[in-house]
Amino acid sequence: MKSSVLISHFKLSLDIIYNTRWRNFWTILGIVIGLSSVIMIIAIGDGIKQQVNYQLNDSSSHNKFVIQPKSINQPDSKSNFVTNLENISPSGSLNYLDVAGLNSFKGVSNVAPYSILRTKIIGTVSSYKSGVVVGTNQYLNNYLSLSVNAGSFIDQPGNPINSAVIGQNLAEKLFGEITPLGATVNINGSPFIVEGVLNPVTNIPFSQLVDFNNSVFIDYDAAQNISSNNAFVYQIFMTINTNKNSVVKSLQSHLDEINGNQSNTLITTLSGISYNSKRTLDLLTRLISFVAAISLLVGGVGIMNVMLVSIAERTHEIGIRKAIGATNRQIIFQFLVESAILSFVGGIIGIVLSYLIDLFIILSTSVKPIITWQLVVFASLISIIIGLIFGSIPAIKAAKKLPIDSLRSS
């Protein structure tokens, strides 16, 4: 087709689009909603996935191991590391183990107990009846990605036994400031000195994980002391650098012996645990893909509906155009141009809207949606293709009819 004809078609299309603003408004709205819902759902899914992944990957390393009660990590168990600690019954705890003694076991080093105590915490500004207290030692940092914003982590050389490190949120709530170094926090009646404050930890959205931002970390022995040995040990982290298999084997039989030859505990690598969690992650990925596919369908149907509503009206118009000599190809082309313009405008608005919603979600929740350019291109292509297909359906349908049959519909 000559370029002048192309331009004519384009100009007339603009004219026509302008003169049917109301109908086009709905068409564009359909595209905008379809497109931005697809982008947002995929972006939110990706964001959650990446946040979960980040937390797990950080601690997966080959020479890091963990002991935990079998009941919480049987190979097929659905519960896994940290996701639902709070639901585990105390009977599953590892309290009977001599945590300090493990350190002298041959080949084992950097043993870090992970125990949780729920008790009264009193600061200067406010207090908690049942705050989360994590009893552990300086090695915990090797296994969980915690970093200190101000001061130092617990149990550093020179620190008193009653030193505490607190999460940033809790610091603010208890003391009204982010770095209350040197302040005294009263835990279950005993005074502890704040030696450090954690950097904010990215939480897994919607999970029931212990929120480190709202926890106090103290020495494991101190935790047992102030609670008459009631701090429940959920996991014991440790490092085994050489002869991993034989060390794990002998440690396992040692544990079973202590336990009256019942194998109630399980030793796995941290990455082994992560492997377990990855299955959850994969499930999440599949769920997200499924939801995205549905939203794509819903978006597509939305665009389709708006386009189909105007078919009768458009069919009459096509009849007129054919009566004055338009060929089928010319009519289909014109409709393609028109729906391309509408889809394009709708696409742009949809993308802008997605970014606005993204911003809103980031500002108001802990979810951080990830909008990649690939996602934007993919979603836009889909919505434009749907727009084009359904925008030109009346033309394609009418192309098969005699002009008089199109003229009769109105």
Partner 1 sequence: MSLIKLEGISKIFGFGDASSLALDSISLNIDKGEFVAVMGPSGSGKSTLMNIIGLLDKPSQGSYMLDNKYVARLKPNQAAKIRRDTIGFVFQSYNLLNRLNIINNVSLPLVYKGVSSSRRLKLATEILDRVGISEKEYFYPNQLSGGQLQSAAIARALINNPKLIIADEPTGNLDSVSSMLIMELLTEIHRAGNTIIFVTHNPELTRYASRVVYMKDGSIVQDEVTPYGQIAKTAKLLLRPSLMKSDEDNLAGVSVLMKTIDRIDKTSKTKKQKKSSRRKK
Residues lying near partner 1 in the complex (CB under 8 A)? 1-2, 4-5, 7-9, 11-12, 15-16, 19-20, 317, 319-330, 399, 402-404, 407
The CB density around residue 186, as the number of other CB atoms within 10 Å, is: 15
Which residue's CB is nearer to partner 1, number 342 or number 351? Answer: 342
Which residue's CB is nearer to partner 1, number 18 or number 373? Answer: 18
Give the up-direction half-sphere exposure of residue 199: CA atoms within 13 A in the CB hemisphere.
8
Output the smallest distance, CB 410 to partner 1, in A. Answer: 9
Distance between start and end Cα atoms, the chain: 31
Which residue's CB is nearer to partner 1, number 92 or number 403? Answer: 403
Which residue's CB is nearer to partner 1, number 301 or number 309? Answer: 309
Secondary structure (3-state) at 306: helix
Output the smallest distance, CB 295 to partner 1, in A. Answer: 33
Please, what's the b/e burial string for 196-226 (b: 16 or more CB within 10 A of its CB; e: otherwise)?
Answer: bbbeebbbbeebebbebbbbbbbbbbbbbbb
Output the smallest distance, CB 32 to partner 1, in A. Answer: 23
Which residue's CB is nearer to partner 1, number 151 or number 319? Answer: 319
Output the smallest distance, CB 321 to partner 1, in A. Answer: 7
The CB density around residue 290, as the number of other CB atoms within 10 Å, is: 11
Output the smallest distance, CB 371 to partner 1, in A. Answer: 37
Burial class (CB in 10 A: 0-12, 13-18, 19+), 331: buried
**How many angstroms separate the CA atoms of 187 and 193, rounded?**
10
Which residue's CB is nearer to partner 1, number 311 or number 399? Answer: 399
Output the smallest distance, CB 351 to partner 1, in A. Answer: 29
Output the smallest distance, CB 338 to partner 1, in A. Answer: 11
Output the smallest distance, CB 377 to partner 1, in A. Answer: 33
**How many angstroms separate the CA atoms of 366 and 353, rounded?**
20
Identify which of 302, 321, 348, 325 has the alpha carbon closest to the alpha carbon of residue 407.
321
CB within 8 A of 323, min separation 6: which ones? 403, 407
Output the smallest distance, CB 207 to partner 1, in A. Answer: 55
- The rounded Cα 359 to chain-centroid distance in angstroms is 16
Residue that has been written with the tokens 């499930």 in this structure: 283
Which residue's CB is nearer to partner 1, number 20 or number 63? Answer: 20
Identify which of 144, 149, 236 has the alpha carbon closest to the alpha carbon of residue 198.
149
Which residue's CB is nearer to partner 1, number 120 or number 401? Answer: 401
Which residue's CB is nearer to partner 1, number 326 or number 393? Answer: 326
Secondary structure (3-state) at 76: coil
